[in-house]
Amino acid sequence: MRRPGSLTPVGAVPRATFVDPVFKTAESIEAFLGNHDNFICDTDGVIWHGAAELPGAFATIQDLRDRGKRLVFLTNQSDKSRAELAAKFTKHGCEVDRNDIVTSASAAADYLVTFHPSVKKVYVIGQSGVVDELEQAGIACCGGPTDAENEVMDEEAFADVQADASVGAVICGWDLTFNFQKLCMASLYLQRGCVLIATNRNETEVVRDGRKIPGNGALLASIEAATGVEAIVTGKPSQLLGEMVIEKYDMNKARTCVLGDRVDTDVALGKAAGVNTMLLMSGMTHEEDLADVCSNSTTCPTYICEGLGKLSCE
């Protein structure tokens, strides 16, 4: 089995077991870092768990910066804005420009500006992070966290409700006040031909003791089922997102690596974008999962490492 702190190059051929890993010295880690200039780094499960820093994560970030590496922090979160996440970094003593942070909500705003410039107003299912990013991009919003009145929406009320004619898209982000009224309003706008954009398809999010709370994908499934409209997804593992990030930050794919703790989002994003991937064992994926993860090339990462803190040779 992997030794603590080891870095395992998995290679092109999937392996079901991890015996005698090759990368377990400072020299092997130096070689890995020497082959990459750009790192697209997940946050939760990689840098922190909730409010708690993961061991050595910020030291590694500083080490990579000192080496001249480019770091972009990419999260599927949509409930917090980039400014809020930058403030969280600052609280941990690490200064990060919000322009080096990409959330699934900021990606949705960038997508609208780039591909649907005529859309100037959207109906939002989601929290303040979605609204903040859209408004910063010059897009007006209705719905959102203030639209939580829990009004009863029956057939008669739905027949009478008036849609805002200026709305051109529906954005679906994780919404703790999602209800039947919001489902009905999203359905009405989509019946009028609006674009449907989702910040991610995460089916669940893990909370304490391994419990899984329904994620944005559960909300989105009800909207797609009610309307027959398939969403454009701007969060991980969307190939669209990967290409947008690589182009925005002018990254050489051959020298770029995605760092993350989830196979279904982080590793899948890197594979879709055609870059190397490193699975970090500090969050969603555990030792007992590795045999299944690397049993085929569609899920197997390029590298496996215990945690971000192990990438620093300091």
pLDDT for position 150: 60
What pLDDT, on a 0 to 100 scale, did the predictor assign at position 240? Answer: 94
Q: What pLDDT does 266 receive?
A: 96
Whole-angstrom distance, CA of residue 37 vs CA of residue 33: 8
**The two structure tokens encoding residue 27:** 């020299």
Q: Which domains does the chain have, with CATH numbers?
A: 7-76+237-311 (3.40.50.1000), 105-233 (3.40.50.1000)
DSSP per-residue letters across 96-154 = --GGGEEEHHHHHHHHHHHH-TT--EEEEES-HHHHHHHHHTT-EEEEGGG--------
Other beta carbons within 10 Å of 33: 18
**From first to last of its 314 residues, what are the pLDDT tens digits of the chain?**
333 344 555 544 333 233 223 356 778 788 889 999 999 999 999 999 888 999 999 999 999 999 999 999 999 999 999 999 999 999 999 999 999 999 999 999 999 999 999 999 999 999 999 999 999 999 999 999 887 666 789 999 999 999 999 999 999 999 999 999 999 999 999 999 999 999 999 998 878 777 889 999 999 999 999 999 999 999 999 999 999 999 999 999 999 999 999 999 999 999 999 999 999 999 888 888 888 888 888 899 999 888 999 887 55
In this prediction the pTM is 0.89
Please, which residues have CB within 8 angstroms of residue 311's CB and are 6 or more apart in sequence? Answer: 7, 29, 32, 33, 60, 63, 64, 305
The Cα 60–Cα 313 span in angstroms is 8
Angle at 139 between CA 133 and CA 141, to 5 degrees: 85
* Catalytic residue annotation: 37
37, two tokens: 């200039």
